[in-house]
Amino acid sequence: MNLEQLRSFVEVARFGNFTRAAEELYLAQPSLSRQIAALEHDLGAELFHRARGGSTLTVAGESLLPLARRMLADAESVRRELAELAGLERGRVRLGATPTLCISLVAEVLSAFHAEHPAIELHLSEQGSRRLLDELGSGELDLALITTSDGSSAERFTVTPLLVEELVVISSAGAPPVTTRDTIGLEDVAGLPQIVFSSSYDLRSATDAAFRAADLTPEVVLEGAEMDAVLRFVERGLGVAIVPAMVLIDRPGLRSVRLAEPTLERTISVARPADVAPNAAVEVMRRTITAGATAFSARAGATMRLAGASV
């Protein structure tokens, strides 16, 4: 049993298809099939149910999958540790972030990191917070910027809060303001035409819960959009949206107003596996993220503040 066989096994399990896995691994399909067959022979068990429609894991395959992922992650950790002997001239950082953060904080962080360490490979996973924690736990990521965390994850991850950010109501800068006051109540927002996010967004869950708690039903004109599309639709006057204050930076086509009490907030945190010591490149990325969060807090003013100690 070797790492190439385990990597092939994990990819076939991921795609459920030998052809697609071979393409992903840049292997000829017969070579991939031989690797899987050799692995099955070494283990004395079939790992896949093979059928015309695809390949599914057997009971033995399901048992092997988490172990294989962990072994590959450990091997990658060794490779990265050895690469550190050359300083930060080689290596890789796998960062995960929510879609909202990818168009704001992460863009700034990756730009600053790459300028200082251009030889380090950067890989980005853009997912919701729960999915990012899953990827972190399976060894697919080194760090994750999340906006939610659950107490049951505290033993598996080290979660450090960075920023506490208000959600604000945005509208087109080319249209009349939605209110002449400094703040707007949630009941008034409910009466405005709204553009709302895909149900996979943490933000959608938070705003839906706030409206339900206030016994309000918002007027929705468009549902299911991604962050960049929401901002563009609002800029063009299609409706209003409730978004994190951070996304307004460098968006002159939008205006915002803060919500009246009780305000809606979210905490942005950086998470890493609790049982894996970060290598030098990952630690430098963590420090770059912290510095970027501090800078964003200063730029966003009253709607964003630095968070406290780690969770």
Cα dihedral sign, 106-111-116-118:
positive
Residue 149: per-residue pLDDT: 44
Q: Over the stretch 177-218, which tens digit does the pLDDT of each residue have?
A: 999 999 999 999 999 999 998 887 778 888 999 999 999 999
Q: How are beta strands 121-126 and 92-97 bridged, if at all?
A: parallel
Looking up tokens 């099955």 gives 40
Assign residue 218 the CATH number of its domain.
3.40.190.290
Percent over 70 (pLDDT), the chain: 90
Cα–Cα distance for residue pair 304/194, rounded to 1 Å: 23
How many domains are contained in the chain? 3
Cα–Cα distance for residue pair 35/41, rounded to 1 Å: 10
pTM of the model: 0.63
Residue 310: per-residue pLDDT: 38
Range of the domain at 151: 93-157+273-304
Cα–Cα distance for residue pair 92/40, rounded to 1 Å: 31
Q: 156: left (phi > 0), else alpha (psi -120 to 50), else beta? A: alpha
CB atoms within 10 A of CB 67: 10
Do 138 and 174 sit in the same domain of this protein?
no
- Is residue 309 in a domain? no
Q: Is the model's pLDDT at 77 over the cut of 80?
A: no
Burial pattern 32-52, b for ≥16 Cβ within 10 A else e, equals bbebbeebbeeeeeebbeeee
Q: Which residue has the higher pLDDT, 297 or 284?
A: 284
Cα–Cα distance for residue pair 109/269, rounded to 1 Å: 14
Q: Which candidate, 53, 146, 50, places its Cα nearest to that of 97?
A: 146
Contact of 243 with 222, CB cutoff 8 Å:
no
| The last residue of a domain, from among 24, 46, 81 | 81
Q: Is the model's pLDDT at 86 over the cut of 60?
A: no
Contact of 275 with 232, CB cutoff 8 Å:
no
Query: Average pLDDT of the chain?
Result: 86
Q: Over the stretch 7-37, which tens digit does the pLDDT of each residue have?
A: 999 999 999 999 999 999 999 999 999 999 9
| The last residue of a domain, from among 81, 109, 134 | 81
- Is residue 195 in a domain? yes
Percent over 90 (pLDDT), the chain: 53
| Burial of 217 from C-beta contacts in 10 A (0-12 / 13-18 / 19+) | exposed
Q: Over the stretch 235-265, which tens digit does the pLDDT of each residue have?
A: 999 999 999 888 887 788 999 999 998 788 8
Do 62 and 14 sit in the same domain of this protein?
yes
Residue 153: per-residue pLDDT: 52
- Is residue 290 in a domain? yes
What are the E-state strand segments in the chain?
Answer: 48-51, 54-57, 92-97, 121-126, 143-146, 157-172, 183-184, 193-197, 219-225, 241-244, 254-259, 265-273, 304-306
Do 51 and 123 sit in the same domain of this protein?
no
Do 150 and 279 sit in the same domain of this protein?
yes
Q: What is the mean pLDDT of residues 123-144?
A: 91
